[in-house]
Amino acid sequence: MVIGQILILLATILAVALSCRQFLFAWRVIHQGGTFDRSDDQNAFDETEWPDVAILIPAHNEERVLAGCLKAMCALDYPVDKLSIVVIDDRSTDLTYTIAKEFAEMDKRVRVIRRPENAVPGKAAAILDGMTASKSEILVLFDADYLPPPSLLKHLVAPFADPQVGATMGRVVPANTDRGLLTRLLDLERRAGYAVDQNARELLGLAPQFGGTVGGIRRAALESVGGWPTGHLAEDTDLTFRLVLANWRVKYLNDARCYEEVPEDWVARFRQVRRWAYGHNQCLISYFGEVLRAPRLTLAQRMDGALLLLIYLFPLFVLVSIFALIPFTAFAGNGIVSRVLIWLAPVLSIAMLAPYSQIMVAAVCDGQPHVLRALPLLFISSCVSLLAASAGVILLARNLSMGLAPGWDKTRRYRTT
């Protein structure tokens, strides 16, 4: 009984802390007006001084989406002699390699790397091969389903005029929101995650998260922190914390928008969140203590970093607490834990509104309040994410205890080109 009460108390305290953070972020974005002034982006470098850039596109069985992606890449506004587009074919068994080669024959900026069958599988390993094959100063990552507008690349590269910037991150926008309830709900989640969460971290001087796609990396910064990580499923989160702990800036650009394809079926979404939770909690194990002790970070940066690392452990706390709540309600005593929980109950009820506040703020700042029609059904995707994240933590615990390595579970594609 006492253990159950403690679990409920920990989950409640963490929920309140995360919710206070979400309310603060929503308030900061409202105060800013939701956007950044990027008027100097195009003037960051003279036309002859833009740095050499390599776009890296890892691709495993991407025949459905790769042609559209490469067509958009070839239309990017960037000095031709300063840009290379590297497609890393990760042991594909479909027409991915053929499509990439066709573009390479049409545009000299496109290169194709074909990984052998015995290569280490996975996105992180594929990206590492692409980085090794390129010598460019700035590396920009895109997944194979992404459709950047022509102006995007300069917006992602411009902040590197500041020598302290180690990485940049743009905003991910779902392109297939008309495909059903799930895609509309994911659109709401993406809005909150980028237009509010990432946006507020930038505005408050915290550490925005490098997302592993629609983002640039300074090669010197990458090399200074030990190179591209391949040991974690969430290599982007791993790199974020290594850069921040080494005093590099990660800059978020809310107006640097790129379109992606989100999962259209619930099974694919479950697997995606499970994979994110697995990799994110690997980073929790590696960096939680170091973040709390980091002398180079402010107290606010340490607290925000710690809460960010806990974000995919929290769902398991909630799930366990739900089951612990049943006997607690039936046999609750008058101990101090019980009294604290009773006092926190009304606070928790208000805290549950925090995610909704972020979504509403994001939609209003985007000038698209009509998307909020799906908001009452958000609990459906939240429940799926709760179960998927919990499954990811359990899978990680099992693999760590048995010495097993995780497999790469690529998200299903839907678009046809």
The conformation of residue 375, written as its DSSP 8-state character, comes to G
What lies within 8 Å, CB to CB, of 44 at 6+ separation is 154, 157, 158, 159, 160, 161
What lies within 8 Å, CB to CB, of 162 at 6+ separation is 249, 251
Helix (H) or strand (E) holding 314: helix 314-331
Give the residue, 324 or 139, on which the prediction is more confident. 139
Q: Which residues partner with 87 through β-bridges?
A: 57, 112
pLDDT at residue 339 in the model = 66
At 148, give phi and psi (nearest 5°): -75, 140
Give the residue, 337 or 10, on which the prediction is more confident. 10
Q: How far is CA 183 from the centre of its chain?
A: 17
Which amino acid type is present at position 107?
D
170 closest CA partner among 217, 100, 137, 133: 217
Is the pLDDT score of 138 beyond 90?
Answer: yes
pLDDT at residue 287 in the model = 97
Query: 50-265 domain in CATH 3.40.50.150?
Result: no
Residue intervals in the chain for CATH 3.90.550.10: 50-265
pLDDT at residue 332 in the model = 57
Beta strands across the sheet bearing 83-89: 110-114, 83-89, 53-59, 138-141, 215-218, 165-174, 249-260
User: What's the CA gap between 149 and 173, in Å, rounded?
Assistant: 12
Give the residue, 159 or 33, on which the prediction is more confident. 159
pLDDT at residue 120 in the model = 86
| Per-residue pLDDT band at 151 (split at 50, 70, 90) | very high
**pLDDT tens-digit map of 178-198:** 999 999 999 999 999 999 999
Which amino acid type is present at position 234?
A
Tell whether pTM > 0.85: yes
User: What's the CA gap between 169 and 307, in Å, rounded?
Assistant: 20
Highest mean pLDDT among 22-36, 258-272, 326-340: 258-272
Strand, coil or helix: 291: helix
pLDDT, the chain, mean:
90
**pLDDT tens-digit map of 20-31:** 999 999 999 998
| Per-residue pLDDT band at 168 (split at 50, 70, 90) | very high
Own/partner pairs, 321-325, CB within 8 angstroms, 24+ separation: 321/7, 321/8, 321/11, 321/12, 324/3, 324/4, 324/5, 324/7, 324/8, 325/4, 325/8
194 closest CA partner among 389, 365, 392: 365
The pair of three-digit structure tokens given for residue 377, joined into one six-digit string: 């059904």
**Span 104-131, mean pLDDT?**
93
Tell me what percent of the residues of the chain surpass a pLDDT of 90. 75
210 closest CA partner among 221, 361, 226: 221
Task: Evaluate whether 59 touches 130 at the Cβ level (below 8 Å).
Answer: no
| Per-residue pLDDT band at 214 (split at 50, 70, 90) | very high
Q: Which residues partner with 171 through β-bridges?
A: 257
The conformation of residue 4, written as its DSSP 8-state character, comes to H
73 closest CA partner among 127, 134, 124, 142: 142
**Span 211-224, mean pLDDT?**
96
Q: Which residues partner with 257 through β-bridges?
A: 171
User: What's the CA gap between 352 and 218, in Å, rounded?
Assistant: 39
| Per-residue pLDDT band at 415 (split at 50, 70, 90) | confident
DSSP helix, strand, coil percent of the chain (3-state; round to 5): 60, 10, 30
Give the residue, 388 or 416, on which the prediction is more confident. 388
Residue for token pair 């100097």? 40
Is the pLDDT score of 257 beyond 70?
Answer: yes
What lies within 8 Å, CB to CB, of 68 at 6+ separation is 147, 415, 417
Q: Return the sign of the alpha-carbon dihedral for residues 358, 363, 369, 370.
A: negative
Task: Evaluate whether 264 touches 182 at the Cβ level (below 8 Å).
Answer: yes
| Per-residue pLDDT band at 280 (split at 50, 70, 90) | very high
Strand, coil or helix: 216: strand
| Per-residue pLDDT band at 330 (split at 50, 70, 90) | low
pLDDT at residue 404 in the model = 85
Is the pLDDT score of 262 beyond 60?
Answer: yes
Question: How buried is residue 273: exposed, middle or buried, by Cβ count under 10 Å (0-12/13-18/19+)?
Answer: buried
Q: How far is CA 387 from the centre of its chain?
A: 19
pLDDT at residue 33 in the model = 66
User: What's the CA gap between 393 and 399, in Å, rounded?
Assistant: 10
pLDDT at residue 345 in the model = 65
